[in-house]
Amino acid sequence: MEEKLVKFESAFSIDCVIFGFEAGELKILLIERKDNPFKDWLALPGDLVKNHEGIEESAERILYELTGLRDLHMEQFHTFGDVNRHPRGRIITVAYYALIRIDGQRELKPGNFAKKALWHSVNDLPKLAYDHTEIFKTGFTKLRRRLSYQPIAYELLPEKFTLTQLQQLYEAILNKKLDKRNFRKKMLSYGFLKELDEKQKNVSFRAAKLYKFDRRKYSKIFQNELGVDIDNP
């Protein structure tokens, strides 16, 4: 373009609702803030977007800094821009959710603003800093809706999982009981679950068959359904 560039100072941030599934419960990752404002409160992980950083890029950076994980499914779900949402000035925030496999071994690195990062059950959250409670609720609603038309559950489960685990996850997200037989029938009918020659180990009862999600088959089955790009609908 022929005109000079105008330089603005960034005034936007990213906040992330990071979902995980553990012990039959849906959880999110929260940090405990070490500085004001909201010192000692729990908050969603987030940061200002840097000047030469796209917002997707920024969301991925924040997640990486906290969890050491890259290339996860992140999805922007809403932008919050009330004038007074941030006590330090006019900062609007773009909210993303991420789905990750909780791995007890992985060490979480809380980063600059946080004392520690911990998993909290979505059913038992305290009041969060800023407008983060509202952000969480909006994100959870979007996740729930998305579950009905996208195979996102598999991002939260280990690579190999049992049908009961899958069902528990659906129940945790949808917050209702499902019928075991109907659930299995339906999931298997889609044809994108691959039954493995393996079973659960170290359980004190009959071991269940393990399955994995076959992304190839999924894409083949649902490609161009309504002309919608499956990875960006």
- Encoded one letter per residue, x for contact with a copy of itself by CB under 8 A and - for no contact, window 35-54 reads -xx-----------x-xxxx
Task: Kindly tell me which of 146 and 217 has the beta carbon lying closer to a copy of itself.
Answer: 146
Among residues 230, 30, 38, the alpha carbon closest in space to that of 111 is found at 30
- Minimal distance in Å, beta carbon 77 to a copy of itself? 9
**Rounded-to-integer distance, Cα 175 and Cα 80, Å:** 26
228 binds a copy of itself (CB under 8 A): yes
- Encoded one letter per residue, x for contact with a copy of itself by CB under 8 A and - for no contact, window 1-20 reads xxx-xxxxxxxx--------
Residue 135: CB atoms within 10 Å: 25
The DSSP bridge partners found for residue 74 are 98
Per CB under 7 A, residues contacting DNA are: 162-164, 179-182, 184-186, 203-209
Task: Kindly tell me which of 6 and 226 has the beta carbon lying closer to DNA.
Answer: 226
- Minimal distance in Å, beta carbon 168 to DNA? 9
Are 31 and 110 contacting, i.e. CB atoms less than 8 angstroms apart?
yes
Among residues 15, 30, 154, the alpha carbon closest in space to that of 93 is found at 15
Are 129 and 42 contacting, i.e. CB atoms less than 8 angstroms apart?
yes
**Rounded-to-integer distance, Cα 38 and Cα 32, Å:** 9
Task: Kindly tell me which of 11 and 188 has the beta carbon lying closer to a copy of itself.
Answer: 11
**Rounded-to-integer distance, Cα 196 and Cα 211, Å:** 5
- Minimal distance in Å, beta carbon 173 to a copy of itself? 12
The helix/strand/coil state of 106 is coil
- Helix, strand, coil in percent for the chain, rounding step 5: 30, 25, 45
81 binds a copy of itself (CB under 8 A): yes
- Minimal distance in Å, beta carbon 52 to a copy of itself? 6
- Minimal distance in Å, beta carbon 186 to DNA? 6
Task: Kindly tell me which of 123 and 141 has the beta carbon lying closer to a copy of itself.
Answer: 141
Residue 172's alpha-carbon distances to 44, 100, 168, 208, in angstroms, are: 20, 15, 6, 20
Degrees to nearest 5, angle at CA 229 with 56 and 65: 20
Of the residues 30, 44, 74, 94, which one makes contact with a copy of itself according to CB under 8 A: 94
Task: Kindly tell me which of 82 and 179 has the beta carbon lying closer to DNA.
Answer: 179
- Partner whose binding site includes residue 104, from a copy of itself, DNA, none (CB under 5 to 8 Å by kind): none
Task: Kindly tell me which of 90 and 216 has the beta carbon lying closer to a copy of itself.
Answer: 90
Count H helices and E strands in the chain, helices first.
5, 9
Chain residues that interact with a copy of itself, rule: CB under 8 A: 1-3, 5-12, 36-37, 49, 51-56, 76, 78-79, 81-83, 87-92, 94, 141, 144-145, 175, 226-228, 233
